Structures are given as C-alpha cells and as structure tokens.
Amino acid sequence: MDEFIDFVRGGPLGPIKKWGTRWSLWPVHLVTACCGAELAHAFACGYDGERIGALNYGIARQTNLIIVEGAITRKMARVLRVTWEQMPDPKFVIVMGACGLEGGLFWNGYHLVKPSDVVPVDFFIPGCPPTPEALLRGIRQLQDKIVTGEAKTSATFSEIMLEQGRKPRVLPKSPKKVSKAPAVLVNVPKQVEWEFGEKLVEELKAKIDAKSITITGKNRIAVKVERDYIPKAALKLRDMGFDHVKNVNVVDVPNEDKFIVEYHFSSYSVKELMPVVVNVFADVPRDEPEVKSLAKIFPSADYLEREMHDFFGVVFEGNPWTGRKFLLAPDAPEYPLRKDFKLEKEVYVR
Amino acid sequence: MEEYAIDIPVEPPKELRSLFIPIPPDYVEDVYKSDDFLVLVGPQHPGSGHMRLIVRVKGDIIQEVIPDPGYVHRSMEKLAENRLYIQNIPLVERPAIMDAPNFNLGYIRAIEEALDIEVPERAKYIRTMLAELGRVGTHLYDAAILAVFMGHTTGFMYPFGLRELICEALVRVTGARFTSSFIIPGGVRRDVDDSTFKWIYDMTLAMERRLKSFERIFVKNPTVIARLKDVGVLTKEEAIKYGVVGPFLRASGVEYDVRKVEPYEVYDELAWDMPVSDAGDGYSRLLVRVNEVGQSLSVVRQCIKQMPEGRVISDQIAEKGEDIRGSFYDSLYDLVLPSGEYTTLTEGARGTIIYSIISDGESNVPYRVRIVTPGWLYLRGFMESMKGERLADLQAIYGSFGYFPPEADR
C-alpha cells in the first residue's frame, strides 16, 4: 500500500495528482466565527472564488482544505479537530482573521484557544476581518505550495536595521484607572421629565412590596426587592401588563460580599408600557447565591438564567438546566465572570 | 394496527460522554424507550452557522429541540470589564459584523446617556444612515443564507452581489467593509463629503431596481413559497411569551420596533413604516425583512436629502476644531461614567440589542457591561417554532430566523 502511495505521489502520475489537488481545493464548510461573512463574499459573485477552483463544500470527507474562520473557542476546538481528522490526505489548513493568529481582539479571553494548537496550519491571513481579496490570495499561495512544496508568504516587507546604541524606550504607563473599592449602585435616581413614569411608580408602590423604587432615566425604573420576593413581584408585574423578560443580569460585588441579580421586564402587548424597562433587582449573598427561577412564569427568562448560572454560579432554583453548563464549554473555567477570576493583563512591550 | 413491544435492553451510546453532548443519559434512555430518535444537527453542517441542535423526532415529526449554543462564545462581557470605554467600541461590534453600525450605536448611546452628551444633528443623520445601511446589509445576508439552507444558489449569489454595494458604501464613508467603529461618543469620527452622499443616494436607487429582480427570482419563487409557507409558525401569544424580538416578532403580528416605541437618533423625524405580518410563519419572516429593506433604503435617502450642515462631533468632546482626528485618544481615553446603570435599547437588524453598562463612578473601565443580542433573545422562540414540524423543514426554519451564532453567543 505504501508503495502505491509513493507511486501516486512521486511517480509519473505525481504531477497530475498535484495539478488535480491544486485546482480542486474545496474547503469544508465549517464556519467558526464572524469572518464567515467575508468568506461568503469571497465565494459569491463579487469575487467568485470558484474561478480558482475553490468552493465551499458541505462535508469533510471529500475535501482537502479547511478554512478556519476566525476565533476558535474551547467548544469549537474539538469540532475543528474532529472535522480535520475526517478530511482525506493531503490536509491543508488556512486560518483567516486576527483571532486565529494570536487571539486578536479576544487574545486574553477565557474561552479562546489558538487554532495552531489544535491543527497544523499552513497559512495565516491577518485582518479583522480579512478582505475577500486577502482570502483568495491565501488560496493562491496554497496552490503554489502544492506545486513547489514550500509555504511562502505573499507579503514581503523591506527590512530595517535597528539602530545601534539606541536608548531603551520608556514605556508608557497603563491608562487604566480601576477603583480599589468600587461602590456599585444600579438604582441611582435621575431627574427626567416623564409624567407617565411618576404615575407608574405610584402604581408599583401600591402593588409591590419593594424596598425602594427609583426612576433611573427616561423609561427606566429600578425596583429593589428582597430576593425571595422576586417571583411575587414578577407575578404582580405580569398582571400589570409586563409580559416578557428582556434581560437577566448579575453583578458581582465582592467587597460588599454580594451579587446583584437583576431582571429587566418589558411589555409587548400594552402600548404605553412598550418603551418602559422595569429593573427588579435583589441582593444575594455571595456564599449562598440562590434565587428562585422565573423560567416557569416567564419562559423568555429561561436561557438568560442558564447563561448567568454559567457565568456567575448563581443558582436559579427551578430552572431545568441548573447545574449543567449551557453556553460555556465543559472544560471552561468555573464562573469566569466573577471578579476574582482575573484575566491576563495586557502590557506594553518593546 | 397492533403494537408489539420488543424487550431489548437500551443503553445510551458511549460517544455521549466523549463528544460532550450536553444532555443527561436518562433523557437519551427515555428517547430510546419511547421509540423516538435523537438527531444531532451540527456544529459542522452544510448550512451556515455553528451550533448544535439536538432534535428529538418521532417518525419525522420534531418533538423537541434542545440547543447547544456557545460554539462562538468569545467572552465579550468579561473582556469589556478589563478595557477602557473606548477600547470596547471595536469589541462590541464583533457579535455581528455585518450589523456593526447598530451594535456600535447601542453601546455609544449608553455612554452618551450617562454623560449627557448632546450629539450634533449632522452626526445623528450620519449615524442613522449608517445604521440603516447595516440593516439592509444584514437582511440581504440573511436572505442569502436562507437560500443556502434551501439549496438555492442563485438566491445566495444575488443578495451577496447587492451586499457588495453596501460594503462599497461603508468603505466610502468609513474606510472599512464591515467593522468600521465609526460611531464614537459625541458624534462620528469624521465628516462625509457630498460626492459620497450622492454615490450612496444613487446606490439605493440602483439597489431598489435590482431588488425587484431578486424578488422575482427568489421571494416569489414557487419553490421558496412552498418550503416556507405555514412552516415554523409562531403565534402572537407564543412570540410574546418566548420574548422573540425584531422582524421575527413583527412577523407574528406584534407592532414593536424600538425605533418607533422609543425613538433614538432621528428616527422620529423621518417618514417610514413598520412592516407587520400576522401569519408568523417562515415566509412572513422573510417578507417582513424584504419590506424592511425597502423602508431602510427610503430612510437612507431621506437622511441624505435632509442632511443638515454643521459639526459632526459634540463640542463637549472635541473643544478645539471640528474634527476628532488626531486627538481621539487624548479626548476620550479618560471617560469616567457617573455611578449607576445605563440601559439602552437599540433596534438592530435582527432585533433588540440591549446594552447595560454599570459604572462605579471612579474607574475609566466599566464595572460590568451586559450585552444581550437579538439572536440570544429569540433562540427560545426559534426552538419552540420547530416543534411539530417535519425534520426536513428544520433547515428552512433555521434559515428563516437568520440565526447567526456569533451574535447569539457573543
């Protein structure tokens, strides 16, 4: 069998095989991130990648090329590897986008891996996103590599010699100012002209047993309640005409040893309430982060709660997915959005 | 017909663990016992998008769909907590790069609301124009992807040909095809000259003509109608219950558009309609967006016609000169938002984009940025709409929602 492979590759048929591979580089369709938008442009009528023999193909079993389109997450890395392993020999990999090189805009994200750690990469195409021209140029370079056997960069720059005896540059300080003891308030009152809002606040005060109700802006009301009272408040709001949850948010405040759990309610069915967003929030102690889930009352809150459980480890009692990861990869770090999970800091380098 | 029970021991396949399929083994056992099938769609599949759908089918009728999102979760919210406010501008437009102006606008509006920055009229018009160009581009993108899902190659090529015009317009205005980061606190990066406006004006007219032939080729195509009509129906009640957003909500008969209910920029000064349909099926979701493209092109033309003269950056940001160029970092790096929570709603192409910035009042990095994207909000409704449909219709429903995983996962 090995003899046969050697014959096909190096024998008199070798050039024909190379020629065939070169002009039929159909990349497998594995869209991994947003660079896929430019990839689609490269194979649509504007740039027409098909004229150089490349066109996206549905399954990996009949392709030689995989184009990694941007960021590879921990969850996607496994899929990339599986797809790459499915491809027949020879296998080529082109990585497009800055995220695929060193992470780009997301370089210290907790959910990102480098594609070069997962599969052997032949060509990188920088850019965020790279233009279709750049992608097609990458494919042309790969075609050259198939013939000549060596990967060459298509962009060359003239070399500039470093000056000898130059003084070391003084690096600037980081412009960031981060408060050591931040005071986090989500219900800072704001003076706005909003008559309906004042009426609504009165109505809310009569119906909801709240600790405080403030207008935080035009069309924004913040209602502070006890954490066990959230479902009751939600039921009261539902009777008033608020029919969906727009947002579930958790804020981690380690120096006050609490989480702030917020639900943003709004309405689709009552015309006056449509622009209003009522933020019902409660303080939850950090060592026992449990609140009752609203997924049964408001199905629109279900996935948002699951996501917050992934990020902060806040337990939403009654949510069917509690205890399992929904958005994050199984091997992702635990509760990455808590403040005590630190990311690698960016520094200036020479 | 009599049913025969066959007593075969069932065990969930061992790959469940090694492939990290996030469903409990007893669910799989239950599926096996009740004579259903589990079909795993994705993450690598011939359509576009990269999420896994775990579909439970009886015969070929879909009983339940469990999504497995997060394949493109790039930890945007955590990264945003560790960067300056202005460093986050390019970051927050990465969820959906074809809709970058809308994502950009929502974040900037939250900052402006916090700092009470008055934006000059001309900048507002330019922003509105960009946002509408982004909306047209995204709707064309989604129509093309819908065509891919249904195996209609011409339907893919045609909108992408038209999208080239949108990209060209964005290049002429901002310098980038997709991710322009053109909208900054207080206005826009630079002024746009009249010849560019003229080009965009003519482009919208040309596009409208070509859209007519696209409608003939794709939208009114009997095959497309047969694949989409009465498929994946979401009634008005369901759409409200599951919190669907954007054109998909309007396709179910709810008259909700953030641009109408809480107008921002100059939307209340322009004349445009909100297309609404009562059917709630896949075809009406396509039609609503096709009509919105026409409305958006008209808004772009109105913006260009009514474009006022003046500055494009607020004097609260750039005191000297009328341009931020050259002093961008110096005037904006030290933004400190007053303490509090600032929530803005923006109508992106696929629906409501929510930015919630929480500031502690002392740092020049946000304490927390919550980004809720339309894709993430309508995911639940999307899953529910597939129940009771045939497995072969899954692709058509997927395409009709224009689900874009990078946007949903952030």
What confidence score (pLDDT) does residue A287 get?
A: 86
Q: What are phi and psi of B310, to 5 degrees?
A: 135, -165
**Could you tell me the pTM of the whole model?**
0.89
Contact (Cβ atoms closer than 8 angstroms) between residue A145 and residue A322: no
What confidence score (pLDDT) does residue B190 get?
A: 85
Q: A22 in contact with B at a CB cutoff of 8 Å?
A: no
Q: Which two tokens stand for residue B51?
A: 């999420």
Per-residue pLDDT of chain B (410 residues; tens, 9 = 90+): 677 776 666 666 666 666 667 777 777 777 777 778 888 887 877 666 678 888 888 888 888 888 888 888 888 888 888 888 888 999 888 888 888 899 999 999 999 988 888 888 888 999 999 999 999 999 999 999 888 888 888 888 889 989 999 999 999 998 888 888 889 888 888 888 889 999 999 999 999 999 998 988 888 889 889 988 888 888 888 888 888 998 998 898 888 888 888 888 888 888 888 899 888 888 999 999 999 999 999 999 998 999 888 888 887 777 766 777 778 887 888 888 888 889 999 998 888 999 999 988 888 888 889 999 998 989 888 888 888 888 888 888 888 888 888 888 88
Domain locations along chain B: 15-68, 76-319+331-409
Strand order in the sheet with A212-217: A212-217, A220-224, A277-285, A258-266, A244-253
Domain A9-148 classification at class level:
alpha beta
Handedness of CA B305, B308, B312, B316 (dihedral sign): negative
Q: How far is CA B105 from CA A75, A178, B101, B110, B116, in A?
A: 30, 25, 6, 9, 15
The minimum CA-CA distance between A245 and chain B, rounded to whole Å, is 7
What confidence score (pLDDT) does residue B205 get?
A: 92
Interface contact flag, B339 A188, Cβ < 8 Å: yes
Q: B18 in contact with A at a CB cutoff of 8 Å?
A: no
pLDDT tens track for A34-51: 888 888 888 888 888 888
Q: Provide the terminal-to-terminal Cα distance of chain B, rounded to the nearest Å.
A: 50
Which whole number is the average pLDDT over A173-189?
81
Q: B79 in contact with A at a CB cutoff of 8 Å?
A: yes
What confidence score (pLDDT) does residue B108 get?
A: 92
Per-state percent for chain A, helix, strand, coil, to nearest 5: 35, 20, 50
Q: A36 in contact with B at a CB cutoff of 8 Å?
A: yes
With cut-offs at 50, 70 and 90, classify the pLDDT of residue A58: confident
Name the amino acid, one letter, at A111.
Answer: H
Q: In terms of C-beta density within 10 A (0-12 exposed, 13-18 middle, 19 or more buried), how is residue B6 classed?
A: exposed
Which whole number is the average pLDDT over A282-287?
88
Chain A residues near residue B362 by CB distance under 8 angstroms: 177, 179, 182
Q: Has the ipTM of the complex gone over 0.95?
A: no
DSSP code for A251: E
Residue recorded with tokens 């549905």: A58
CATH 3.30.460.80 fits A195-317, yes or no: yes
Contact (Cβ atoms closer than 8 angstroms) between residue A254 and residue A246: no
* C-alpha span between B13 and B27 (Å, rounded): 12
Q: Which two tokens stand for residue A70?
A: 């941007």
Torsion of CA A185, A191, A196, A201, to 10 degrees: 40
Burial B269-299 (b: 16+ CB within 10 A, else e): ebebebbbbebbbbbbbbbbbbbbbbbbbbb
What confidence score (pLDDT) does residue B9 get?
A: 61
* C-alpha span between B251 and B269 (Å, rounded): 25
Contact (Cβ atoms closer than 8 angstroms) between residue B239 and residue B252: yes
Nearest to A244 among B84, B145, B243 (CB): B243
Nearest to A73 among B72, B141, B354 (CB): B72
Segments of chain A assigned to CATH 3.30.460.80: 195-317
Q: A33 in contact with B at a CB cutoff of 8 Å?
A: yes
Please give the biggest Cα pair distance in chain A.
90
* C-alpha span between B342 and B345 (Å, rounded): 10
Q: B163 in contact with A at a CB cutoff of 8 Å?
A: yes
Nearest to B256 among A40, A188, A268 (CB): A268
Which whole number is the average pLDDT over A165-173?
75
The minimum CA-CA distance between B258 and chain A, rounded to whole Å, is 8
pLDDT tens track for A111-159: 888 888 888 888 888 888 888 888 888 888 888 888 887 778 888 888 8
Nearest to B48 among A31, A184, A274 (CB): A31
Name the amino acid, one letter, at A43.
Answer: F
Residues 278-307 on A with a CB inside 8 Å of B are 279, 298-304, 307
Domain B76-319+331-409: which CATH number of 1.10.3720.10, 3.30.1370.30, 1.10.645.10, 3.40.50.300: 1.10.645.10
Nearest chain B residue to A241, by CA: B240
Sort strands A92-96 and A27-28 into parallel, antiparallel or unpaired: unpaired
Q: Which two tokens stand for residue A16?
A: 């024909």
Contact (Cβ atoms closer than 8 angstroms) between residue B381 and residue B234: yes
Residue recorded with tokens 């750049």: A134
Chain B residues near residue A188 by CB distance under 8 angstroms: 338-341
Q: A191 in contact with B at a CB cutoff of 8 Å?
A: no
Q: What are phi and psi of B37, to 5 degrees?
A: -125, 150
Chain A residues near residue B76 by CB distance under 8 angstroms: 106, 109
Which of A51, A247, A280 would you mutate first to test chain B, the one with the most B CBs within 10 A? A247
Interface contact flag, B98 A111, Cβ < 8 Å: no
Chain B residues near residue A302 by CB distance under 8 angstroms: 380
Residue A255 in this model has a pLDDT that exceeds 70: yes
The minimum CA-CA distance between B283 and chain A, rounded to whole Å, is 22
Residues 292-321 on B with a CB inside 8 Å of A are none
Nearest to A37 among B97, B261, B360 (CB): B97
What confidence score (pLDDT) does residue B402 get?
A: 83
Pick the closest to residue A338 from B81, B118, B49 (CA basis). Answer: B81
Residues 141-170 on A with a CB inside 8 Å of B are none
Pick the closest to residue B356 from B87, B18, B113, B41 (CA basis). Answer: B113
Of the CA atoms within 13 Å of residue B21, those in its CB half-sphere come to 24
DSSP B272-309: ------S--SHHHHHHHHHHHHHHHHHHHHHHHHH---
Chain A residues near residue B44 by CB distance under 8 angstroms: 28-30, 60, 79, 82-83
Nearest to B160 among A41, A73, A343 (CB): A41
Chain A residues near residue B69 by CB distance under 8 angstroms: 326-327
Contact (Cβ atoms closer than 8 angstroms) between residue A64 and residue A75: no
Q: B372 in contact with A at a CB cutoff of 8 Å?
A: yes
* C-alpha span between A145 and B386 (Å, rounded): 46
Q: What are phi and psi of A131, to 5 degrees?
A: -75, 160
Helix (H, G, I), strand (E, B) or coil at A244: strand
Contact (Cβ atoms closer than 8 angstroms) between residue A190 and residue A216: yes
Pick the closest to residue B99 from B127, B138, B143, B73 (CA basis). Answer: B138
Q: What are phi and psi of B208, to 5 degrees?
A: -60, -40
Instruction: Give CA A84 to chain center in angstroms.
Output: 22
**Cross-strand partners of B368:** B358
Give the contacts of B27 (CB within 8 A, at least 6 positions apart): none
The minimum CA-CA distance between A183 and chain B, rounded to whole Å, is 5
Nearest chain A residue to B19, by CA: A78
